[in-house]
A and B are shown apart, each in its own frame.
Chain A
Amino acid sequence: MSQHIVPQRTYIFVFLGLIGLTMLTTGVAYIDLGPLNTVAALVIAFSKMLLVVLFFMHLRHSGGLIRVVLLAGFFWLALLIGLTMSDYRTRSWTPAPDSWSSTAPPTHP
């Protein structure tokens, strides 16, 4: 890590921003936005994470390698969630064949 020393004021402003976003996300939960509630919650959570990562965890001043490592982590997480989810989302696209119908007689011996 570089010897860059972040001013105390920066940390305090970031903290206040984080508190503000927390109050925002809690407040938004009381408003009916339908499916956008989830989107808003995730967007706010991502923003809070960015603040913590960039400032508290010094990513702003870390080299490219650390950023690549972190991006790789998120990419792999997205892979895990996305590709697994794709199975569940697409199962219904192929209707399962009817195995039994109460009116049709069994045809196998």
Chain B
Amino acid sequence: MTEAEAHAQPAGLAHQFGDLEQQQSAATLGIWVFLVTEIMFFGGLFASYAIYRWLYFAAFEGGSHVLDIRLGATNTMVLLASSLTMALSVRSAQTGNRKATVIFLIATMILGGIFLGIKGVEYNQKFVEHIVPGLDWSPEGTVLSRLAPGGLEHAQIYFFFYFAMTGLHALHMIIGMGLLLWLVVRAHKGAFTASYFAPVEVVGLYWHFVDIVWIFLFPLLYLIGGRY
């Protein structure tokens, strides 16, 4: 029942596939289908967000202004840079450049770590300001208390979305970091060649997807209603 079959095959070819091209094609289609499931997974959150933003716009605006736009923008650029290094890593694998593949993977991890670090700073700020729904919510002293009647309750919904959406995103980043570490180890050992680099490409696509989620989270959470 194991995959070990008697006939000779190219390195890395699984027994159910006829050739490496079919295997690569299947892997690519597989990860794209998975990413679509992730679109629907985050989609439930985005749909709920859209409804409550429409219902309670003032509270969402007020909540958004409490966020630090500089940290948000910086994080956005850090993540975009990590997508660049990830794309360059895949390209290095495609061209059979083992050393560059590893270096760019490590760079991606470093940038991902910076993103998570800044996120941690932001989360900590929320605890300091006592605006963490469910765990530490007492916003009376903050600018939120200037919202119209009912606004504080609705602001809690805004911050619920803030933590749920960025938290789920951060969870996906952490999983991505784990995948990157796995890739670094394998790449360092020379597992990838110009004809077999599907794992790098697959993780790359996942990483870019997580970046795209943030591309939307930044304006939707940090830039509501403008800051003029």
Interface set of A (CB-CB < 8 Å, partner B): 1, 3, 5-6, 8, 11-12, 14-15, 18-19, 22-23, 25-26, 29-33, 37-38, 41-42, 44-45, 48-49, 52-53, 55-57, 62, 65-66, 69-70, 72-74, 76-77, 80-81, 84-85, 88-89
B191 interface hit (Cβ, 8 Å) = no
Interface residue range, chain B: 35 or more
Contacts of B28 in A (CB 8 A): 1, 62, 66
Given known A-B contacts A69-B32, A84-B51, A42 and B77 have beta carbons under 8 A apart? no
B80 touches A18 (CB 8 A): yes
8 A Cβ contacts from B173-228 to A: 201, 204-205, 208-209, 211-212, 215-216, 218-220, 223-228
Interface residue? B24 (CB, 8 A)? yes
B77, A73: Cβ atoms under 8 Å?
A: no
- Which B residues, 75 to 95, have Cβ-Cβ distances below 8 Å to chain A? 76-77, 80-81, 83-84, 86-88, 91, 94-95
Using A15-B84, A26-B69, A77-B39 as known contacts, say yes or no to A45 and B95 having CB atoms under 8 A apart: no
Are A3 and B81 in contact (CB-based, < 8 A)?
no
Chain A residue contacts of B46, Cβ below 8 A: 77, 81
Whether B223 pairs with A37 at a CB distance below 8 angstroms is yes
* A-B CB proximity, top 4 nearest: A73-B36, A41-B219, A15-B84, A29-B223
